[in-house]
Amino acid sequence: MLEMDLRLLLPSLVPSSQSVYVLVFYFVYLAVAGEILPGKVIRGVVLSDGSQHRYRCNGLFALSLLVAILGISAKLGVLSPLVVADRGLELLSATFIFCVLVTLVLYITGRTSSDKSSSLKPHVSGNLLHDWWFGIQLNPQFIGIDLKFFFVRAGMMGWLLINLSILAKSFQDGSLSQSMILYQIFCALYILDYFVHEEYMTSTWDIIAERLGFMLVFGDLLWIPFTFSIQGWWLLHNKVELTVPAIVANFFVFLIGYMVFRGANKQKHIFKKSPKTPIWGKPPVVVGGKLLASGYWGIARHCNYLGDLMLALSFSLPCGISSPVSYFYPIYLLILLIWRERRDEERCAEKYKEIWAEYLRLVPYRILPYVY
């Protein structure tokens, strides 16, 4: 049985020329759109050599235009809206091959670079696997495009495009269900919101601290779009009956998750830019002039992770509770965020010293008040 499944599976993993064209079209579109479409230009954090990157945050415009172009092309019969849903595995393996190739090029260019700037200075440990996996340069570029920003954008947009193709497929084969609609609405809102607030991305850990190697490229280009959409693929082949109270509860999990996630990230972002801005109508409580201890940051030290986890759960709840497969994303995120929170706290303890200790006294919970 397993042998037969593998025999069926393996051919669909081999990328056809069409899947390569889809990827090439996608990357070329993103490169051109990212450069020419208008958008707010944001200065990134100041790097150790005093330089600052500029990011053109036009992701929402680029995504809307792309969806419009694809929608019109599908209407005119130029392109099948099922192109992704029908070639999921092929696209996945084509993307994987691309990740390997591009990171080998990054490895070679990093190793041979003699640049001294913070962005391009090579960090070589001498261990080939380590350097390829974690990357050598902080902000490598290709024809003037910041690759790190480019890949994360490609991954988030790719997730929406996969979902839309899955939606089209469920229309076509008559399996469109309430569960599929709920899943699609929640993910679309999350992704659109991400691009509305794209500038916040410029100060995240991945952008400011992580070098560009296989780990990040694979995470952005393959992991985000292909594994975060597992629920959609699952719903194409499984039927779930949802009761009205279950749908209402699912909406609440999404809305509360969104409120906490966006609210917490926004409060920190505003606090870093103008530390005196009131939080929930009151002057902010600040520890040692540096750490915010009011609003969501006074409830738990990583309320933003709590919100993100609730959102992840809301994307899986439409699938019911019959299979753990559709809970892959929230389970993965729970493990990732607990690990990340531990690493972040270690870094903050080292950076802020007694101020951090005072913050721990004021806000004793890590993610979930009274539990963790």
Q: Is residue 334 a contact point for ligand NDP (CB under 6 A)? A: no
Q: Using only C-alpha atoms, what is the Rg of the chain?
A: 22
Kindly state the smallest distance separating residue 298's Cβ from ligand NDP, in Å. 8
Say how many Å lie between the first and final Cα of the chain, rounded: 44
Determine contact, residues 217/96, Cβ cutoff 8 Å.
no
CB of 31 to ligand NDP, least distance (A): 24
- Residues between 274 and 293 with contacts to ligand NDP, criterion CB under 6 A: 291-292
CB of 197 to ligand NDP, least distance (A): 10
The number of angstroms, rounded, from the C-alpha of 78 to the middle of its chain's C-alpha atoms is: 30
CA angle 42, 43, 47 (to 5 degrees): 150
User: 3-state class of 173 per DSSP?
Assistant: coil
86 binds ligand NDP, rule: CB under 6 A: no
Q: At closest approach, how far in Å is the CB of 202 from ligand NDP?
A: 11
39 in Cβ contact with 54 (< 8 Å): no
Site membership for ligand NDP, residue 52 (CB under 6 A):
no
Which residues, other chains included, contact 85 with Cβ-Cβ below 8 Å and sequence gap of 6+? 162, 165, 166, 168, 169, 236
Close Cβ partners of 207 (under 8 Å, ≥ 6 residues apart): 44, 148, 149, 152, 201
Closest by CA position to 369, among listed 314, 297, 286, 281: 297
Q: How far is the CB of 253 from ligand NDP (least distance, A)?
A: 16
Binding segment for ligand NDP (CB under 6 A), chosen from 130-138, 162-170, 240-248, 347-355, is: 347-355
**Nearest C-alpha neighbor of 326 from the set 334, 335, 317:** 317
The rounded distance, in Å, linking the Cα atoms of 281 and 297 is 15
Shortest CB 305 distance to ligand NDP, Å: 5
**300 phi, psi to nearest 5 deg:** -150, 160
Q: Which of 195, 226, 297, 327 binds ligand NDP (CB under 6 A)?
A: 297
CB of 115 to ligand NDP, least distance (A): 26
344: contact with ligand NDP by CB under 6 A: yes
Nearest to 260 by CA among 312, 303, 313, 309: 303
Is 137 in contact with 212 (CB distance < 8 Å)?
yes
User: Considering only residues 19, 165, 184, 265, which one is a binding residue for ligand NDP as defined by CB under 6 A?
Assistant: 265
User: CA-to-CA distance for 94 and 113, rounded, in angstroms?
Assistant: 28
Q: 227, 233, 222: which is closest to 85 by C-alpha?
A: 233
User: Would you call 210 exposed, middle or buried from its count of C-beta atoms within 10 A (0-12, 13-18, 19+)?
Assistant: middle
Determine if 159 is a binding residue for ligand NDP (CB under 6 A). no
Question: Taking CB under 6 A as the rule, does residue 261 contact ligand NDP?
Answer: yes
Q: Which is nearer to ligand NDP, 9 or 46 (CB)?
A: 46
- Report if residue 302 touches ligand NDP, rule: CB under 6 A: yes
Q: Does 333 bind ligand NDP (CB under 6 A)?
A: yes
* Per CB under 6 A, 262 contacts ligand NDP: no
Residue 205 as a binder of ligand NDP (CB under 6 A): the answer is yes
Which of these segments, 76-84, 94-102, 184-192, 300-308, binds ligand NDP (CB under 6 A)?
300-308
342 scored as a contact of ligand NDP (CB under 6 A)? no
Answer yes or no whether residue 351 interacts with ligand NDP by CB under 6 A. yes
- Check binding of 211 to ligand NDP (CB under 6 A): no
Beta bridge partners of 142: 145
Q: Is there binding between residue 305 and ligand NDP (CB under 6 A)?
A: yes
Of the listed pieces 135-143, 157-165, 168-176, 345-353, which binds ligand NDP according to CB under 6 A?
A: 345-353
Interatomic CA distance for residues 322 and 58, integer angstroms: 40
Contact flag: residue 304 with ligand NDP (CB under 6 A):
yes
With respect to ligand NDP, which residue has the nearer C-beta, 15 or 330? Answer: 330
Position 268 contacts ligand NDP (CB under 6 A): yes
The stretch near ligand NDP (CB under 6 A) out of 92-100, 123-131, 147-155, 336-344 is 336-344
In angstroms, rounded to a whole number, what is the distance separating the alpha carbons of residues 129 and 146?
24
Residues near ligand NDP, by CB under 6 A: 204-205, 261, 265, 268, 271, 291-292, 297, 302, 304-305, 308, 333, 336, 340, 344, 347-348, 351
